[in-house]
Amino acid sequence: MTSRSERLLRLIALFCFGAVGIALISQHVFDMPPCAWCVMQRLIYLVIGVVALVGGYGGGRGLTRFCGVLAALLSVAGVVAAWYQYSVAARMLSCDQTFADRFMTGIGLDGGVPWLFGIYATCMDAMVSVLGIEYALWSLALFVILFFMALPVVFRRGQAR
């Protein structure tokens, strides 16, 4: 029988992979090129998704809880990245050489998987509104939701159900 914590982690994974799917559709279908902070958030979503899948199909309560902790911490990192993109980087003429740019180019994902992690715009150019709300704020909101979804996994007591 699947525990509530495992189901929550599977839902977290679904949200994360769905967010990256929407970002890819936005990029490749609606011509919304991503900036360094955008692709860094994609990476964070993917890592949370993988961690959540491991815990969601995991090997016991300990692993499930550990994956919940990692998902919560990574969600906080996502909140910081989305907040920085919205409040600082989007106001800069270039986000070249910011932490996200140095990190993404440093690990080589931008060149190795350009359709997913390629940096094709400055943060100012990537500032786009969807339904009147900037894309970075949508991402920030999802990271907050993911954080609060992970908390019950972290603090669940007793027998998993």
- Region 43-61: mean pLDDT is 93
Residue 161 belongs to some domain of the structure: no
Q: Quote the CA–CA distance of 151 and 66 in Å, as a whole number.
A: 11
User: What pLDDT sits at residue 161?
Assistant: 41
- pTM score, whole prediction: 0.90
Q: What is the CATH number of the domain that holds 40?
A: 1.20.1550.10
Number of domains present in the structure of the chain: 1
The verdict on residue 125 lying in a domain is: yes
Residue 15 lies in a domain: yes
Domain limits at 42? 4-149
In this model, does residue 125 exceed pLDDT 50?
Answer: yes
